[in-house]
C-alpha cells in the first residue's frame, strides 16, 4: 500500500466516524425532543373538577395553556405560573384553583415549547420569541399587578425573569429555588414553598439559594408533601403517604393568605393609607 493509499483509507475512516457521530447526535436530539414532548399530565381529573366549581372560571388558551379566574369578579392581580420540566399545564389547574377562587388572582399557566421553561427563556433571550410571561401580561391588560412563579425548573426560570423585570410585583416558587440574586429587590414580594418529602428538589442547592431572596421572603416547608403534589401528576417522585387533597390544602393554607395580604397591601398603598 502506498502512502497515498494509506491516506485515502484514513480519510474514509474519518468520514465514516463523522457520519456515525452525526447520526448519533441526530438520534440523541430526536430522543431528547421526544422525551420533552411527552409531558406528565394531570392524573386526578382535576381540570373537570375545577370547571365544576362555582368560584372558578377555567379558560383554555389556543396555545394549550389555561387561565383561571374568580367567577363573576374583577381582579387586578395576576400570576403567570411556569410548569415544571416536562409537566403539562393541566397538572396545575387543581393546585392553583384556590388562588383564583379564594385570593381573587387571575392565574395564567402557559404551555411552554417542548414543555420546558428553560427553552422558552432561551428562545426569548435570543429574540426569537417573547417570554411566556410577557405574552400573558400583554394579553390581560386589565390586570395591574403581576407576579411570576413556577414549579421546579419553572420556578427557577420565573426567578430569572423577575430579576430582569422590575415591573413584576412578586415571585412565587413551588418546589424550586432562585439561582440568581434578587436579595436587593426590597420591592419584590417572594413566596417560597417546598415539600418536606420532596426527593426531586436539590436540597443543598435550595438551602444555599435562600440567601438570594429578600429578607422579607415568606419561606415555608410543607410536611408530608412531595414534588409532584405541587401539581396533580405522578411518576416523578416517590409517594409521600399524603393525599393530593391534603397536600393542596397545606399548600393553599400558605399561598392564599399570602396573596390576600399582598393584594391588601397594594390596595392600601394606592389609597394612601399604608405607612
Cα 84 from Cα 64, distance rounded (Å):
15
Per-residue pLDDT for 274 more than 90?
no
What is the total residue count of the chain?
A: 275
The mean pLDDT value for 251-273 works out to 85
Scan for cell 411570576, then name that residue. 148
Q: What is the pLDDT of residue 254?
A: 98
Pairing of strands 145-151, 170-174: parallel
pLDDT for position 74: 83
What confidence score (pLDDT) does residue 37 get? 62
pLDDT of residue 8: 57
Least confident of 44-53, 73-82, 128-137, 265-274: 265-274
pLDDT at 263: 86
Three-state secondary structure string covering the chain: CCHHHHHHHHHHHHHHHHHHHHHHHHHHHHHHHHHHCCCECCCCCHHHHHHCCCCEEEEECCCCCEEEEECCCCCCEEEEEECCCCECHHHHHHHHHHHHHCCCCEEEECCCHHHCHHHHHHHHHCCCCCCHHHHHHHHCCCCCEEEEEEECHHHHHHHHHHHCCCCCCEEEEECCCCCCCCCCCCCCEEEEEEECCCCCCCHHHHHHHHHHCCCCCEEEEECCCCCHHHCCCCCCCCCCCCCHHHHHHHHHHHHHHHHHHHHHHHHHHHHCCCC
pLDDT in tens, 154-195: 999 999 999 999 999 999 999 999 999 999 999 999 999 999
> What pLDDT score was predicted for residue 70?
97
Mean pLDDT of 253-272: 86
The CATH class given to the 43-273 domain equals: alpha beta
Give the pLDDT band (50/70/90) at residue 109: very high
What average pLDDT score do residues 203-211 get?
Answer: 97
Between 35 and 76, residue with greater pLDDT: 76
Q: How many angstroms separate the CA atoms of 211 and 221, rounded? A: 16
Which of 8-12, 82-86, 140-144, 194-198 is predicted with the least confidence, judged by mean pLDDT?
8-12
The half-sphere exposure of 78 on its side-chain side, counting CA atoms within 13 A, is 22
Which pTM value belongs to this model? Answer: 0.86
Strand pairing category for 66-70 and 56-60: antiparallel
Region 127-148 average pLDDT: 95
Q: pLDDT by residue (tens digit) across 218-252?
A: 999 999 999 999 999 999 999 999 999 999 999 99
Residue 229: closest CA among 192, 196, 256: 196
Query: What whole-number distance in Å separates Cα of residue 148 and Cα of residue 2?
Result: 68
| pLDDT tens track for 6-63 | 565 455 554 444 444 333 333 333 334 454 568 999 999 999 999 999 999 999 999 9
Domain positions in the chain: 1-38, 43-273
Residues 53 and 121 sit within 8 Å (Cβ to Cβ) = no
Neighbours of 55 (CB within 10 A): 16
According to the model, what pLDDT value does residue 38 have?
Answer: 86
Amino acid at each position: 500500500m502506498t502512502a497515498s493509499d494509506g491516506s485515502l483509507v484514513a480519510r474514509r475512516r474519518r468520514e465514516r466516524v463523522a457520519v456515525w457521530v452525526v447520526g448519533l447526535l441526530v438520534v440523541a436530539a430526536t430522543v431528547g425532543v421526544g422525551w420533552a414532548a411527552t409531558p406528565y399530565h394531570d392524573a386526578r381529573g382535576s381540570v373537570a373538577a375545577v370547571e365544576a366549581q362555582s368560584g372558578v372560571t377555567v379558560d383554555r388558551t389556543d396555545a394549550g395553556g389555561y387561565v383561571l379566574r374568580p367567577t363573576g369578579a374583577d381582579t387586578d392581580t395576576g400570576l403567570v405560573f411556569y410548569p415544571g420540566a416536562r409537566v403539562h399545564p393541566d397538572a396545575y389547574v387543581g393546585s392553583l384553583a384556590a388562588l383564583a377562587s379564594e385570593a381573587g388572582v387571575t392565574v395564567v399557566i402557559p404551555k411552554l415549547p417542548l414543555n420546558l421553561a428553560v427553552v422558552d427563556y432561551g428562545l426569548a433571550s435570543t429574540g426569537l420569541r417573547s417570554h411566556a410571561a410577557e405574552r400573558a401580561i400583554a394579553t390581560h391588560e386589565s390586570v395591574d399587578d403581576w407576579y411570576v412563579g413556577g414549579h421546579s425548573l419553572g420556578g427557577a426560570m420565573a426567578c430569572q425573569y423577575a430579576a430582569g423585570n422590575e415591573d413584576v410585583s412578586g415571585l412565587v416558587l413551588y418546589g424550586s429555588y432562585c439561582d440568581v440574586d434578587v436579595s436587593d429587590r426590597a420591592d419584590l414580594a417572594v413566596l417560597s414553598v417546598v415539600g418536606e418529602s420532596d426527593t426531586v428538589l436539590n436540597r443543598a442547592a435550595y438551602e444555599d439559594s435562600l440567601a438570594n431572596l429578600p429578607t422579607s421572603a415568606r419561606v415555608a416547608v410543607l410536611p408530608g408533601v412531595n414534588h409532584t403534589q405541587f401539581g396533580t401528576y405522578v411518576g416523578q417522585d416517590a409517594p409521600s403517604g399524603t393525599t393530593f387533597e391534603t397536600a393542596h390544602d397545606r399548600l393553599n393554607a400558605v399561598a392564599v393568605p399570602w396573596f390576600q395580604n399582598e393584594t391588601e397591601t397594594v390596595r392600601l398603598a394606592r389609597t394612601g393609607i399604608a405607612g
